[in-house]
Amino acid sequence: MKAQPSQISSEAPLQLLLFVDKRPSSGERIRQVRNCLKTLAAEHSREPYTLQVVDVSEQPHLAEHFKLVATPSLIKIHPEPQQILAGSNLVAQIEDWWSRWLRSVDDFLEASRLAEIQDSNGQGSNGQDSNRAEQIRSIEESAELLKLSDEIFRLQREKEELQAQLQFKDQLIAMLAHDLRNPLTAVSIALETLEMGSTPKSDGGFRLNPDLFAQLIRHARTQTKALDRMITDILQAARERNSEFRMQPQKLDLGQLCQEAIEHLGDRIETKSQQISTDIPSDLPHVYADVERVRQVVVNLLDNAIKYTPEGGAISVAILHRTTQKVQVSICDNGPGIPPENQKHIFEDRFRLQRDEGKDGYGIGLALCRRIVQAHYGQIWVDSNEEQGSCFHFTLPVYRLTPSP
């Protein structure tokens, strides 16, 4: 039975509390202590003690009250003085102290009997019994106050976390409303232009030439993909803000995944007339990673590189078999770079550079990348010089027959 503060009984003169934790051995320890006490008390017509078990993880307020530093611990809380036994040899210690505990119980009972006689003769109150009752009541009240303090602290933490979540959702909704407007407007203009251009002229021809028609289609498709990416990012952030990643690592061809990501974003690269180069060795070993999670990282970093690289600029993707244990991916651009004072913050939740306040994005992409890479026991970092571009690097573990972190 788990002890609550209000359950510290005063029915038996010898009162004991056994503090344990959730280790597998705790159950056997409890059984040994109980059997030892029953054997020692067998010579009495009734058990002169009560034993209550306290799990310190469930009632830390009681452990704090008695200032415990280790488990298992057995505390004699009555009769006074209070005594604490601790260590793995509790049974031996109980056997050693048992006779002295019984003498203290006999002394207490004798004092209580004399106090009752004095009280019945009008010679005073039952002082010892009153002291004992006061001691038990003091323990109960102190433990209850500590328990309430723990509960208030826990509720305060929950309140702060809920407030942070609500604020996070409000920020996402506000940014979503702002950022969706630009691509939606671009798609709407492209569709209206296509609609007007598809109206036949008086000579039977069309108002749009094939090249302009194809360009408008590509532009609309690019903006539609941007909308899909924004919605995916925001749903991902809202769903995983306070949850653990569910990883499904497997043997993965990282070079092929990077090539697919480049093709996926090809329209955006072509729209800005950017040049992209790759350095992916043909003998690159496979990695042990979650396919979709790693795809998120690569697409996110490539998306940032495209966003910050000027028109006609250059982007590079390189993969290096860095050590026997790790493979490193590097995605570089020749954009404006990142100020040195901000480089250590860019992987934090919702951190955005001041220059990006009016641009698309939520300040969650790099934080998500960090979580994914760290979940693979990898590292992610940035090398950057202002006005010279940035290189983002991350590592993943090499696949082995028996993969290990």
pLDDT of amino acid 253: 96
Q: What are phi and psi of 168, to 5 degrees?
A: -60, -45
Do 111 and 128 meet the contact criterion of CB atoms below 8 Å apart? Answer: yes
- pLDDT given for residue 227 in this prediction: 73
Q: Tell me, what's the pLDDT at 89? A: 87
Look up the CATH superfamily of 250-397. Answer: Histidine kinase-like ATPase, C-terminal domain (3.30.565.10)
Q: What per-residue confidence (pLDDT) applies to 246?
A: 66
Report how far residue 6's alpha carbon sits from residue 136's, in angstroms, rounded to the nearest whole number: 10
Confidence at residue 404, expressed as pLDDT on a 0 to 100 scale: 47
pTM metric for this prediction: 0.46
* Phi/psi at 58 (5° precision): -90, -25
Inter-residue contact 54 to 20 (CB < 8 Å)? yes
pLDDT value of position 251: 93
Taking the C-alpha atoms of residue 290 and residue 179, their distance in angstroms, rounded to an integer, is 29
CATH superfamily of 5-125: Glutaredoxin (3.40.30.10)
- CATH T-level fold of 158-240: Helix Hairpins (1.10.287)
- For the chain (length 405 residues), average pLDDT per consecutive 10? 40 82 85 89 72 81 76 86 86 88 84 74 53 56 67 80 70 60 75 73 63 78 73 62 66 95 88 93 93 89 90 95 89 89 77 49 68 89 86 92 51
Q: How far apart are CA 309 and CA 38, in angstroms?
A: 79
Contact 378, 297 (CB under 8 A): no
- Number of neighbouring beta carbons within 10 Å of residue 180: 16
Q: E strands along 224-325, which residues? A: 250-252, 275-279, 287-289, 314-320
> Which residue ranges make up each domain of the chain?
5-125, 158-240, 250-397
Instruction: Report which residue type is found at 299.
Output: V
Q: How many residues does the chain have?
A: 405
